[in-house]
Chain A
């Protein structure tokens, strides 16, 4: 049921080798992170707050540079095609919407920045809004939406560019449990449909077990990967898995790995 080693067979999309990050103020956030992210994989980074989970996402997204080690993209194409293929989507913990723009305009942003006009981007944006169930709200402003709906808009914005890899930084941490479960299911459904790679940062053991094909457990700062747990449960997963003994067993093992990683 559980496998100690990651699924080496899958082709990697990006890999981190000995990656470390020390910030200008001297904080050592990451040290010696080795992580191989398989193409089409749903990987969770699980760890205590402040362990550098978000930093890993920022490094993969290219928003920060590692101070040690290398990040390698295993592009299938070369040149401009590779750039296009490396299309990264990012979902923050906050919805991070522009309050002055409608739902449609918020989702349009990435395409607009790439030079697409409203009319040429419309079909793509509406498809993205439909896939999160917000097509009827295209003209609403963020302040008119609930927390869960704002998060859906944020996900639709990431979807609009058809990313090959989706980086999610505790996207549902601020939501109530009912909304979170619902968005978990929506996310899994979209992941199955679109064939993205997802790297999902969370500090919830149960969320990581429910969602992921693989969980990388991280240590306290400076963060590194302490355990790599394969969640050997087929997709699609349903409510039955959430409450199954198997889920409980994996959660127990994951939780133990987390406590060991935190040095308790």
Chain B
């Protein structure tokens, strides 16, 4: 008896669930449109408050002036933005490599996990600003100092999420791998790493924002000790000089960087998980 002929009822579930294309498009427009409307309203309110109360520029500049400052001061702000981004991305890359490798090492044996995970937690819960004076003393190179700070802040979510992910592989699947005589490496490569992927990508999204925060905070502290090229030093400098439009401009660039990093990592996540994980699939 042919099985092909008897699949009809099974097959219904295989065709994509049919939400009408139109409704999906409306949803997409709302998702992009609504935040823009709220943002525009906020900017308009900001402008109105400045104009109505005649607030001077050195206290609160009008929104357009902030944008104009980004363009006019680009010679100063551009290189600073580049430096901050470079440190952020480098720290994120190192945090990813370090966090994933450490997570793999921790999940290889219970003894290793019990021994070292609490130490990673200590590193995470200690405020980085409090450690910085020490790093300042021990580390000679200014770039290395800031990088180290950003790394410490960014690596923990990757470590903890990846560890959780590596341990979350289905127990029956693990039995199946054991039954078919899988090596430790095969189990890691074909089962545990793919199972950890959604968790890792969630951690990466958090770490992207934290790397930026780490880079900025480290520069604030380091800037006070005489080093300064990133956006954070521009903010401190502008504050001293009451150049408030430039301060706002630098702030806006930091926020924009954070948003871009988040969006890029979300796109990456959706691209990798799109085919199989519930978080990335649409019904």
Using a CB–CB cutoff of 8 Å, the interface residues on chain A facing chain B are 58, 61-63, 88, 90, 92, 94, 96, 98-101, 109-110, 112-114, 131-133, 136-137, 140-146, 148-149, 152, 161, 178-179, 182, 185-186, 189
Contact = CB atoms under 8 A, between A and B. Distances in A.
12 contacts: A61-B179, A62-B179, A92-B176, A94-B172, A109-B190, A110-B180, A112-B190, A133-B7, A137-B14, A142-B276, A143-B281, A186-B3
A149 B186 CA distance: 27
Contacts of B177: 113
B175 interface: yes
A96 B14 contact: no
B56 interface: no
A178 B281 contact: no
Contact of B10 (A92, A94, A101, A179): A179
Contacts of B2: 133
Contacts of A110: 180
Contacts of A136: 4
Nearest to B15: A144
Chain B interface residue count: which class? 35 or more
Contacts of B170: 96
A137 B178 CA distance: 27
B197 interface: yes
Of A100, A136, A182, which is in contact with the most chain B CB atoms at under 10 Å from its CB? A100
B173 interface: yes
Interface in B160-180: 170, 172-173, 175-180
Given A96-B173, A186-B3, A88 B190 contact: no
B1 interface: yes
B277 interface: yes
Given A132-B3, A137-B14, A146-B12, A100 B197 contact: yes
Given A141-B276, A146-B12, A88 B6 contact: no
A178 B9 CA distance: 10
Contacts of A186: 3
Contacts of B3: 131-133, 186
